Structure 1
Amino acid sequence: MTKPPRKPAQPLLGEADALLRSRPRRRRDPAQPQLSLDPMPARIDPCLALLKPRPPKGPQWAFEVKWDGYRLAVHIEPSGVRIITRGGHDWTDRFPAILAAAKRLPVATAILDGEAVVFDEQGRSDFGRLQQSLGGRGGKRTSREAVMMAFDLLYFDGRDLSGMELAARRHLLEGLVPAGGEEAIRLSEEIEADGETLLRIACEHGLEGIVAKDRNSTYRGGRGGEWQKIKCIQSGGFAIVGYQCSNAAFGNIRALLLAARKGGELVYVGSVGTGFKADEAMKLRAMMDKIKATNPAVKYSGGRKNLIWIKPKLVAEIEYRAWTHDGKLRHPSYKGLRDSADDLSVFEIE
């Protein structure tokens, strides 16, 4: 018996002006096996930028502005959103605007890496303003002014991206957080420029510096050199080992005595007497008076009078221009106390 002729196949494209439509999807058969998903990590050790005196050269390097704030990881999970600090503390409730913006992102699961910042009138990130918005070191206030500048995507819709090269991670991040947004989560944009030129422009505009990242690198915790930071003004964390009293200064603090680490011990690197505000100085004096020490934690022969020594438990963020020939900070300025939830590491002298 002869089979009836088949109906002619539909052409790949119909009329030129006709709309192309896909077939409606059928519901997934529950018995059909699913693709396995990567387990979502509870925390990822952050990749840190290595301090360098000059920007690297080569086509593999991408450049961004260096933001001056608190490092954050935003975890978007089926159960909700968590905001984790660099030190592993849960600060979800302290950044309500960032939390609300994370909930609006069009993604089921993700981990965004970025920096929480507060901007000044010129649009520059200001570490002091961020600390004030949170109530200072050890404060418990929420910051509604803070926004997150997102610069990496480590987990996305069930997939661990840490083993993927930076260029691919950035491509996915830019699709999730578009450039030019005004939400509380914004894209830290790559800037197409020569590193030396960008650093010069950043310094002229009063920015802290720039960050260079190897586009071909995977994401690894610690300072492996895949990310590098180049600063306009040097800064770092220095242990406060004492202070000089003065009845004419805010909080009776004429100067703080600072120390860095060298060969496993603390060494004296000078003092700082500028950058204090009245209310901050009073709080700082109260904290220092609770940890007074009989003997200094460093060898000291500076000749200052009216010195009070303290245990080296407080770490101050200090800006400075350079180092003197005898290993002291040149033109230092106090920026604030570092918080244990962010970073308490003390500057190490090589």
Structure 2
Amino acid sequence: MTKPPRKPSQPLLGKAEAPIRSRPRRRRDPAQPNLTLDPMPARIDPCLALLKPRPPRGPQWAFEVKWDGYRLAVHIEPSGVRILTRGGHDWTDRFPAIAAEARRLPVATAILDGEAVVFDAHGRSDFGRLQQSLGGRGGKRVSREAVLMAFDLLYFDGRDLTGTELGARRHLLEGLVPAGGEEAIRLSEEIEADGDVLLRIACEHGLEGIIAKDRNSTYRSGRGGEWLKIKCIQSDGFAIVGYEKSTASFGGIGRLLLAARKGNEFVYVGGVGTGFNERSAAELREQMDKLIISKPTVDTGRKRNAVFVRPELVAEIQYGGWTHDAKLRHASYKGLRDAADNPAVYQIE
């Protein structure tokens, strides 16, 4: 005969009259009273797209339009909204329409990843127009016409989503920022199409290119290959190392002298003499004349009427390819990248 189980001296969960409470996972931050799970990070370094010549193939790849603007992270917190540039600078006051729209979103806490753009008459993002709206590099103007094209959601109502796959992040983002909106924050929509076909259509419509993203990937800072960019026209950042003077050109600039990086050094990659207007040339000349040096940073060969500057300014240059001696072909100036955007100088392999 089996013995009956021994009667415990007290209930398994403690005293019978005491309320049952689970132990909290971590101490709550009083500055974030609504968050019971993951503290909101002050800043997340962005995931960057790796340049590829052709779109990838496979069902795991999702495609979007490549936007030409400034990368921003919009932090929605109980205390208010913060808009951070790629370099971590607070530009909330520079984008009042985006900040106001972020306050209206139906969410207590969130971090949106996206690109601030200004559209031209044909609905294409125009980097030059965005720069003009902000007053040029180093300008302090407010851009009321800029729109945030949101393409990722990194934090949502107390949950850190960076370890969640892209498909789930996009599902939550589409519930927060619905497609087809005309507000200051709009959804960068996924496009269901073959990558090669989409790239051809994008190029025919004068767009900069497309972005491919691995649906199964988590959000990883840096250029790890989870996101790829395929461009219609090459456009990259190059350091300005000087200019050739001309009395017949805007701002007295005949040609900008440009350099790329090779390892830890700069190498001369040719010049650009088109793409300026009177205003952009005058602003550019003012910036360069503060950086004049007596000797060039790189060997530019023999140049007439050349003025050399410290390589601190990064110009966005559109170009058609490279010559046999590693110089830019059919180059055109698009604008100066702002230091707050943490601009990268093209790296020669």
Normalised TM-score (structure 2): 0.90
> Could you say which residue in structure 2 is the equivalent of 1:58?
58
Structure 1 CA distance for aligned equivalents of residues 286 and 219 of structure 2: 41
Deviates more, 1:336-345 or 1:254-263: 336-345
Structure 1 CA distance for aligned equivalents of residues 339 and 138 of structure 2: 8
- Residue 344 of structure 1: CA displacement? 2.5
Identity of aligned pairs, percent?
77
Structure 1 CA distance for aligned equivalents of residues 286 and 235 of structure 2: 25
Q: Which letter does structure 2 place at the counterpart of 1:348? A: Q
- Residue 285 of structure 1: CA displacement? 1.1
> Could you say which residue in structure 2 is the equivalent of 1:294?
294
After TM superposition, list the pairs within 5 Å mapping 1:181-330 onto structure 2. Answer: 181-301=181-301, 303-330=302-329
Structure 2 CA distance for aligned equivalents of residues 248 and 67 of structure 1: 34
Structure 2 CA distance for aligned equivalents of residues 109 and 75 of structure 1: 8
Structure 1 CA distance for aligned equivalents of residues 244 and 47 of structure 2: 38
Q: Contact conserved, 2:136 with 2:283, CA < 8 A, in 1?
A: no
Structure 2 CA distance for aligned equivalents of residues 222 and 286 of structure 1: 33
Unaligned runs of 5+ in 2: 1-18, 26-35
Which deviations, in whole Å up to 9, do the C-alpha atoms of 1:248-297 show, x marking residues without a partner?
A: 11111000000000121100000000000101111211221111111111
> Could you say which residue in structure 2 is the equivalent of 1:170?
170
Structure 1 CA distance for aligned equivalents of residues 313 and 300 of structure 2: 18
> Could you say which residue in structure 2 is the equivalent of 1:336?
335
Deviates more, 1:255-264 or 1:31-40: 31-40
Structure 2 CA distance for aligned equivalents of residues 107 and 290 of structure 1: 46
Structure 1 CA distance for aligned equivalents of residues 343 and 64 of structure 2: 25
Residue 335 of structure 2 aligns to a residue in which SS? strand
> Could you say which residue in structure 2 is the equivalent of 1:130?
130
Structure 1 CA distance for aligned equivalents of residues 290 and 69 of structure 2: 28
Q: Which letter does structure 1 place at the counterpart of 2:183? A: E
After TM superposition, list the pairs within 5 Å mapping 1:32-111 onto structure 2. Answer: 36-111=36-111
- Residue 32 of structure 1: CA displacement? 7.9
Structure 2 CA distance for aligned equivalents of residues 287 and 193 of structure 1: 44
Q: Which letter does structure 1 place at the counterpart of 2:326? A: G
Runs of 4+ deviating beyond 6 Å: 31-35
Normalised TM-score (structure 1): 0.90
Structure 2 CA distance for aligned equivalents of residues 44 and 343 of structure 1: 14
Which deviations, in whole Å up to 9, do the C-alpha atoms of 1:57-107 show, x marking residues without a partner?
A: 000000000000000000000000000100000000111110111011000
Unaligned runs of 5+ in 1: 1-28
Residue 267 of structure 1 aligns to a residue in which SS? strand
Q: Which letter does structure 2 place at the counterpart of 1:329? A: L
Structure 1 CA distance for aligned equivalents of residues 67 and 300 of structure 2: 35
Residue 93 of structure 2 aligns to a residue in which SS? helix
Which deviations, in whole Å up to 9, do the C-alpha atoms of 1:120-172 show, x marking residues without a partner?
A: 00000000000000010000011000000000000000000000000000000
Structure 1 CA distance for aligned equivalents of residues 249 and 87 of structure 2: 34
Which deviations, in whole Å up to 9, do the C-alpha atoms of 1:31-71 show, x marking residues without a partner?
A: 78778410000000100000000000000000000000000
Q: How many aligned positions are there?
A: 321
Specify whether residues 94 and 221 from structure 1 end up closer, same or farther in structure 2 by C-alpha distance, changes over 3 A only. Answer: same
Please provide the CA RMSD for this pair. Answer: 1.4
